[in-house]
Structure 1
Amino acid sequence: MNRDKRRAIFERLREANPQPTTELNYSTPFELLIAVILSAQATDRGVNKATGPLFRDANTPGAILALGEDGLRDYIRTIGLFNSKAKNIIATCEALVASHDGVVPHDRKALEALPGVGRKTANVVLNTAFGEPTMAVDTHIFRVANRTGIAKGKTVRAVEDRLMRQVPKEFLQDAHHWLILHGRYTCLARRPRCGACPLYDLCEFPERHRYADGGSE
């Protein structure tokens, strides 16, 4: 894909959604960190349903530590892998209190040192909470980047690196959210809604003509 076509794609995404953001509900960097940890193999809607009551009762590391692992499980048991997530969240809260005065660090290395926090989670926090132009490549972004031709790669990290190099700088801050939302609602995994896609004429997906009538996943 050439530079002009890539720029045109992001211009259209920006025109359709000038201020994209996460669909996870949060009001502080800590709440976002916890929500992102919980979102692994879970829907944002399911996470929001659990974190609503949780954050009303406990939205700081100290407050969640006061709940204890068993108490935390009661709030998040509707979310997949809730046992391991509860364990990681308690350990993360302990680390935040012990090493960061209870404050979420604005630093990739420190974030990735927290239990249950990998590169993707760190990228989400850096981008959404702290305004860093990072690219948190999930299954949606991986699919959209490869399918459209925006940034092809065989691994998540390869796609991340290519996006960081090839997305025009003026779009980098919001590109993460545009691509996730596009993959979530238009460029679906099993049956992409190509007929309803604003990027149809710019997309390099060889099969897009088969799905030009839209359809649903």
Structure 2
Amino acid sequence: MNKQKRAEIFARFKANNPTPETELNYSSTFELLIAVLLSAQATDVSVNKATDHLYKAANTPADMLVLGVDGVKEHIKTIGLYNAKAENVIKTCRALLDLHDGEVPDDRKALEALPGVGRKTANVVLNTAFGHPAMAVDTHIYRISNRINLAPGKTVLDVENKLMKVIPKEYLVDAHHWLILHGRYTCVARKPRCGSCIIEDLCEYKHKIET
């Protein structure tokens, strides 16, 4: 895919949705961090249902520690891998208090050192909470990047690195959200909705489905 096509794709995304946002519910950087931590192999809808109750019980690292592992489990047991996630939530809260005065760090290395926080989670927090041009490649972004030839790669890191290089700088901060939303609602896994796609004429997918 050439430079002009990529620029036009993101120009259209911006025109269609000037201020894209995550679909995870949160009211603080800490709440965002916990929501993203919980979202691994789970839908945003399921995470929002769980955190709606969890954050009413505890929405700071200190309050979460008081709730404890068992208390967190009670609120998130509808989410996959909830046992391990509850353990990581409590360990992360302890680390935030011990190492960062209870604040979520604006630093990749510090974020990735938190229990249960990998590169993708760190990228979401850096991008969504702190406005860094970071690219959290989930299944949607990986699929789209390869399917439409935007930034093909064999691994998640390959795709991330390519996207960071080829997306025009003025679109980088919001690109993560545009691509996720596009993959979630239009360029879906089983049967992409090509007929209603705003970038269909720019897309290089060879098996388009007119719907």
Q: TM-score range by the shorter chain?
A: over 0.9
1:149 Cα deviation from its structure 2 partner: 1.0
Instruction: Structure 2: state its 5+ residue gaps.
Output: none
Match of 1:205 in 2: 205
Between the aligned partners of 1:153 and 1:72, the Cα distance in structure 2 is 37
User: Counterpart of 1:44 in structure 2: which amino acid?
Assistant: D
Amino acid at match of 1:115: P
Find the counterpart in structure 2 of residue 17 from structure 1: 17
AA of the residue aligned to 1:200 = E
1:78 alignment partner AA: T
Instruction: Measure, in 1, the Cα distance between the counterparts of 2:148 and 2:17.
Output: 19
Q: What TM-score do you get using the length of structure 2 for normalisation?
A: 0.99
Alpha-carbon distance in structure 2 between the residues aligned to 1:111 and 1:71: 24
Aligned to 2:151: 151
Q: How many residues align?
A: 211
Residues 53-96 of structure 1: CA distance to partner in whole angstroms, max 9, x if unpaired?
11122000000000010011010001110000000111001111
Q: Runs of 4+ in structure 1 displaced over 2 angstroms?
A: none
| Equivalent residue, structure 2, for 1:177 | 177
- Structure 2 CA distance, aligned partners of 1:158 and 1:27? 32
What SS class does the counterpart of residue 178 from structure 2 fall into? Answer: helix
Query: Structure 1-normalised TM-score?
Result: 0.96
Aligned residues with identical type, % of pairs: 65
Q: Report what 2:127 is aligned to.
A: 127
Q: Which residue of 1 aligns with 2:161?
A: 161
Name the residue aligned to 2:85.
85
Q: Structure 1 residue 151: deviation in Å?
A: 0.6
Which residue matches 1:101?
A: 101
Find the counterpart in structure 1 of residue 71 from structure 2. Answer: 71
